[in-house]
Amino acid sequence: MEYQKDKGISQAVINRIPRYYRYIQDLKNQNVMRISSKELAATMGLTASQIRQDLNCFGGFGQQGYGYNVEKLCEELAQILGLHRDRKAIIIGVGNIGRALIKNFNFPGSGFTLVCGFDANPDIIGKKLGGIEIQDISRVEDYVRKNKPDIAVLTLPRTAAPDIAKLLVKEGIRGLWNFTGEDLHLEGLGIPVENVHFSDSLMTLCYRID
């Protein structure tokens, strides 16, 4: 059964789902069979009532006096997130951060297969890295038109971000995972963007230190 989106669930709840999924998946990997909202709350640093409230937004998978069936909840959360759809991602910019993602990041664990990389550096064009081929950046437009990847991971310099985003949208990209530091807002075009800013969490830490 396909999970139905857009039931008026708040963005705040949706933003917490990946975190639930990570914790429940860890429990599953530790062969935990079931967990109460109270135990889960203690592990996650939340309250039991918040957990029940959040998971109820999606139908509620717990039973009173039993708690949550870990394997079932894990599958349901993956279903909600759409992780089973195995979408295709390309990565644009193979510098340090691009390389770190290609080599170390578990794309399939977040619902994507990384299929191709692009860069302007002739030293790496045509080579393979972490199982994917690095192509010339000048070919990205053509590639997207023909191969229809779902999302692009932007790990190129900030100044190049707006132009490449425009080009990708024109060719039908459906989402951007943006590490360039340039906030991109394409929601008006129906293209979700996740803008990742390392500095935001470090500044928050700076604030929180006494």
**Contacting positions for a second copy (CB under 8 A):** 5, 14-15, 17-19, 21-23, 45, 80-83, 85, 87, 95-97, 99-101, 103-107, 109-112, 150-151, 174-177, 183, 185, 187, 190, 192-194, 196-210
- Output 60 or 109, the one with its CB closest to a second copy: 109
Minimum Å distance from CB 206 to a second copy?
4
- Output 15 or 64, the one with its CB closest to a second copy: 15
Taking the chain, what is the end-to-end CA distance rounded to the nearest angstrom? 50
- What CA–CA distance (Å, rounded) separates 209 from 159? 32
CB distance 66 to 20 below 8 Å: no
- Output 138 or 172, the one with its CB closest to a second copy: 172
- What CA–CA distance (Å, rounded) separates 43 from 55? 16
- Output 139 or 148, the one with its CB closest to a second copy: 148
Minimum Å distance from CB 191 to a second copy?
9
Minimum Å distance from CB 96 to a second copy?
3
Secondary structure letter of residue 2 according to DSSP: P
- Output 82 or 138, the one with its CB closest to a second copy: 82
Minimum Å distance from CB 139 to a second copy?
24
151-172 in b/e form (b: 16+ CB < 10 A) is: bbbbbbeeebbeebbeebbebe
Q: Strands, E, within 36-147: which ranges?
A: 62-63, 67-69, 87-92, 112-119, 128-129, 132-136
Minimum Å distance from CB 50 to a second copy?
13
